């Protein structure tokens, strides 16, 4: 005879309380001890869940840190509506952050940090304008390094980018970075800023990037490495500055650089 359980275990099982549940013509027998353990675990988990949802852990205090933002009051209100009186443990901060970014294109990032039992630290960052985009209707928009048109321009002193004649802009539109030379535009502006050069405007001329400095017009090839061309331009301008001269134009599109004084 094969014993599935030791004799002592079988005797202990026979002595333990049992629960009988009718199932058709038969009865299902469940030992009381495992059932009571399950009930204790379930009730404990339910008690913890309800405790975490009590007023003790509901969000009551908000501390904001803003960069300069025109819509600050609206952003404060929107965030407050989404987080106040919510359990700090079950608050989906990621959803709140994404909602603010989708509703306010000027906002680049929202960081929400929880401090128990009921406090949130909220930091709101804004997009930095890199240039002004002009569309076919001559409407101007501010664009950041990600290529997002995040609001209409209001006379900011920034380089001007003119795209193709059929381009129509709108707030919230993200430019195709790989198309229309936009990648070259933005990289050029970054490098110009690094070199300390004052840019008045930047234009797309077929496969050429036309860069207008304070007193010099520069032509770059959109098909070649922008960083290398900007390094060469910097060297030329520095060399001519030491000679007390300022070029009218510098053409870097060809194998041999053309400088017009």
Instruction: Please tell me the predicted confidence (pLDDT) of residue 5.
Output: 45
**Mean pLDDT computed over 46-67:** 87
- Name the band, by pLDDT with cuts 50, 70 and 90, for residue 250: very high
Residue 11 belongs to a domain: no
Residue 1 has what pLDDT? 45
Q: Same domain for 89 and 168?
A: no
Those residues whose C-beta lies under 8 Å from the C-beta of residue 253, and which sit 6 or more positions away, are 208, 219, 220, 221
51 lies in a domain?
no
Residue 131 and residue 118: Cα distance in Å, rounded? 41
User: Are 136 and 199 contained in the same domain?
Assistant: yes
| Domain finish residue from 109, 126, 143 | 126
C-alpha–C-alpha distance, residues 90 and 105, integer Å: 27
> What is the mean pLDDT of the segment spanning 35-44?
76
Residue 22 counted as domain residue: no
Overall average pLDDT of the 15-44 stretch: 65
DSSP designation for 236: H
Considering the domain architecture, whether residues 193 and 244 belong to the same structural domain is answered as: yes
- Tell me the per-residue pLDDT of 195-233, one tens digit each, with 9 for 90 and over: 778 777 777 666 788 888 888 999 988 788 888 888 899
Given 126, 150, 183, the domain boundary residue is: 126
Q: Can you tell me the mean pLDDT for 241-251?
A: 91
| Location of structure tokens 């001329």 | 205
Q: When comparing pLDDT for 7 and 129, which is higher?
A: 129
113 and 148 assigned to the same domain: no
- Rounded to whole angstroms, the Cα distance separating 67 from 204 reads 33
Segment 57-99, tens digit of pLDDT: 899 999 999 988 888 999 999 999 999 999 999 999 999 999 9
Q: pLDDT class for 120, splitting at 50, 70, 90?
A: very high
Percent of all residues in the chain with a pLDDT value above 90, rounded to a whole number: 33
The mean of the pLDDT values for the chain is: 81
Q: What is the dihedral of CA 138, 144, 149, 151, to 10 degrees?
A: -80
Residues 147 and 249 in one domain: yes
Q: What is the CATH number of the domain that holds 108?
A: 3.10.20.310
* Count of domains forming the chain: 2
Q: Taking residues 44-52, what's their average pLDDT?
A: 80
In a domain? residue 80: yes
232 shares a domain with 166: yes
Does 49 map to a domain? no
Full residue range of the structural domain in which residue 162 is found = 131-260
> How much is the pTM?
0.62
Write down which residue in 126, 153, 180 finishes a domain.
Answer: 126
- Domain at 169, CATH number: 3.40.50
Please tell me whether residues 101 and 116 are part of one structural domain: yes
């Amino acid at each position: 005879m094969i014993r599935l359980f030791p004799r002592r275990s079988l005797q202990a099982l026979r002595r333990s309380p049992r629960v009988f549940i009718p199932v058709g013509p038969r009865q299902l027998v469940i030992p009381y001890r495992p059932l009571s353990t399950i009930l204790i675990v379930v009730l404990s988990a339910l008690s913890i869940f309800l405790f975490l949802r009590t007023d003790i852990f509901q969000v009551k205090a908000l501390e904001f840190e803003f960069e300069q933002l025109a819509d600050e009051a609206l952003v404060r209100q929107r965030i407050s509506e989404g987080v106040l009186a919510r359990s700090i443990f079950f608050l989906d901060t990621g959803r709140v952050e994404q909602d603010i970014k989708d509703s306010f294109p000027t906002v680049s990032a929202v960081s929400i940090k929880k401090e128990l039992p009921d406090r949130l630290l909220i930091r709101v960052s804004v997009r930095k304008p890199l240039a002004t985009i002009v569309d076919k209707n001559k409407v101007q928009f501010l664009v950041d390094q990600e290529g997002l048109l995040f609001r209409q321009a209001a006379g900011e002193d920034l380089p001007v980018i003119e795209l193709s004649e059929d381009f129509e802009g709108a707030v919230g539109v993200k430019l195709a970075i790989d198309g229309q030379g936009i990648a070259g535009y933005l990289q050029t502006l970054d490098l110009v800023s690094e070199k300390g050069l004052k840019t008045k405007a930047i234009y797309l001329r077929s496969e050429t990037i036309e860069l207008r400095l304070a007193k010099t017009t520069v032509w770059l090839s959109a098909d070649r490495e922008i960083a290398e061309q900007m390094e060469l331009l910097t060297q030329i301008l520095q060399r001519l500055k030491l000679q007390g001269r300022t070029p009218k134009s510098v053409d870097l599109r060809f194998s041999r650089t053309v400088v017009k004084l």
